[in-house]
Structure formats: C-alpha cells, structure tokens
Structure 1
Amino acid sequence: MKAAIIYASVHHENTKKVVEAIAGENVVDLIDATKEKERDLSGYDLIGFASGVYYGKFHQTVLNFALANLLANKNVFLLCTCGGSAAFQSIEEVVKSKQGKVVGKFSCKGYDTFGPFKLIGGIAKGHPDDKDLADAVTFYKGIIQK
C-alpha cells in the first residue's frame, strides 16, 4: 500500500512531529502543503491530511491542496494537533466533495500560542509528547492493517 500525508506545521512543528513519527516507522511520503501546491496523488492508495487547528479549521494550505489535488474515491485519514478541541469538519467537507472515504481520524494535544493563547504563554505545553507520538503511530498501523 502506497501512502502519503499532506501536512502543514507552521508554529511549533506539532503536526510535523506527529507525521515524522508515523513516517519514521512506516513507508509514507510526507508532503508539506506550505511548500508544495500540486502533486499527482493518483499513485497513492491511502492519503492523509494533517494540520494544526486554526480557529476551528485545518490550515488553509492543506485545504487548498486537498481541493486542488485530491482525486475522487480515495481512502483518506485525518490527523490534527490542537491546543483545545479537535476540528475535522473543514477537511471532511473537502473529502466529501471529492467522494473520498474517511477511514480514520486522530487528534492529540499540541502546544498552542496562536491568537489569544499567546497572551497567557500558550496551552498544551509539552505536547505532542512521547505518548501522543506513539498513539499516532499505533493509529496509523491500525488503518493500514484493515
């Protein structure tokens, strides 16, 4: 099974830590949506989208990448890091518009100093931690074994 994860990790590299943990133990192509706007995804059996949560949405570069490049009827999994609550709706809407199938979702805490959290020194300090990263790897292995 050939897999890719398209991600954006722009503040504290929370999401990058998660996707690199998965790629460190599995054969997965990592595509940074902040650097690549287009990629042929036709050769991938499984596609992940990963982002921090910004005011309740995935990072706009990931949403734009998915809109431009996701092909119809692909199996997709979703990953997010967040200081508060997980928020998948923005990316789920894009996947649905492409008739994709979401085969799993994973979220974990991520150090967050975005917006008003900067005033208090951030939230979810120390995350993602080793347990979060191990849980992400376990989640991914569970998907590819289905």
Structure 2
Amino acid sequence: MKALIVYYSMYSNTEKIANVFAKKINADLINLKESNEIKIDNYDLIGFGSGVYRESLSSKLLNCVEKLDLKGKNVFVFSTSGIGARFYNNKLLKILRSKGAICKGSFACKGYYTTTEIKKNMIFELFRKLSEGHPDEKDIQKAEKFIDNMIKSI
C-alpha cells in the first residue's frame, strides 16, 4: 500500500504526529507550508492533518482538499489543538465525504501553542497551560495505535 500524508503545521505539533504516521506506514509527506503541488493518483491512502487555528483547521489544507479528486480514495484526518478534540476534524471529514472519499478514521490530540492575542481570554490561557509539553509520549502512543488499527481496517 502506498500512502501520503498532507499536513499544515504552524507550531510543529501536527508535523510531529504526521511524522509518527509516516514512519509507521512508510508514507510520503507533504508539508503545505513548503509545497502546494499535490499528486494523489498513485496513493492508496491519504492522511490530511492540521493544527487548529481560531477554532478551525488550516484554510490552506481545506482549500487544498477542495481542489483534489478524491473519489474512491481511502483517507483519514488528524489534528492537534489546545484541547485535543476530534470535533475540529468534522468540517474536513464532511468535505472529504462530499468528494467521494472513503473516510477511514479521525485522530486528534493536544498540541502546545503560544500566542499573545488569546492571553486576554482566561479559558484559552488555561487550555494553553494544560497543553504544555504536548504532543507527549502518550499522544505519540495513541497516534501509533490509531494508525495501526486503521491500517488493519483497509
């Protein structure tokens, strides 16, 4: 099986998870911060990942997915955020399904972030403090388990 992982990572958290997946399944990696050219024809599985920015996955990733012909492609989604919630993946999953992709799974974990504009909001400051050190070893183990289980289902 030939696999590709396409991701956008501002703080390197999502990149860390992308690398875990790539190592486990011997996938090619495309960082959207460095490249916009994506050819998916020869891939059996494609992972799409992003950090969460202002309560949404990267617009660069969402726009990229909109341009791809994903009909019949096995895909999965992953994200990192201050709270590590999978519901952030729902918008991308909906787009992928509307394009005829076969969604095989969704993964999320905490990722540490820093920003000055949210320090005025105490709830985001609390989430920032709770996300320090993430993704950590437990997050990495969960990512490895997720990708192992997903591969078994293909």
TM-score when normalising by structure 1: 0.89
**Contact 2:3–2:25, Cα closer than 8 Å, also in 1:** no
Q: Aligned Cα RMSD in Å?
A: 1.9
| One of 105, 115, 118 as aligned partner of 1:116 | 118
Query: Alignment identity in percent?
Result: 36
After superposition, the C-alpha distances for 1:1-46 in whole angstroms (9 at most, x for unaligned) are 1111110011x20001111122223311111112221211011111
Number of positions where the alignment pairs a residue of Structure 1 with one of Structure 2? 145
In the superposition, relative to structure 1, how do residues 2 and 52 fare at CA in structure 2: closer, same or farther (>3 Å)?
same
**Contact 2:78–2:107, Cα closer than 8 Å, also in 1:** yes
**Contact 1:106–1:139, Cα closer than 8 Å, also in 2:** yes
Q: Which residue of 1 aligns with 2:104?
A: 103
Distance 1:44 1:78 in 2: 16
**Contact 1:42–1:71, Cα closer than 8 Å, also in 2:** no
In the superposition, relative to structure 1, how do residues 117 and 27 fare at CA in structure 2: closer, same or farther (>3 Å)?
farther
Distance 1:45 1:24 in 2: 16
Distance 1:118 1:81 in 2: 22
Q: Which residue of 2 aligns with 1:88?
A: 89
Q: Which structure has the larger Rg over C-alpha atoms?
A: 2
Distance 1:118 1:100 in 2: 40
Unaligned regions of 5+ residues in structure 2, if any?
none
TM-score when normalising by structure 2: 0.85
Q: Which residue of 2 aligns with 1:7?
A: 7
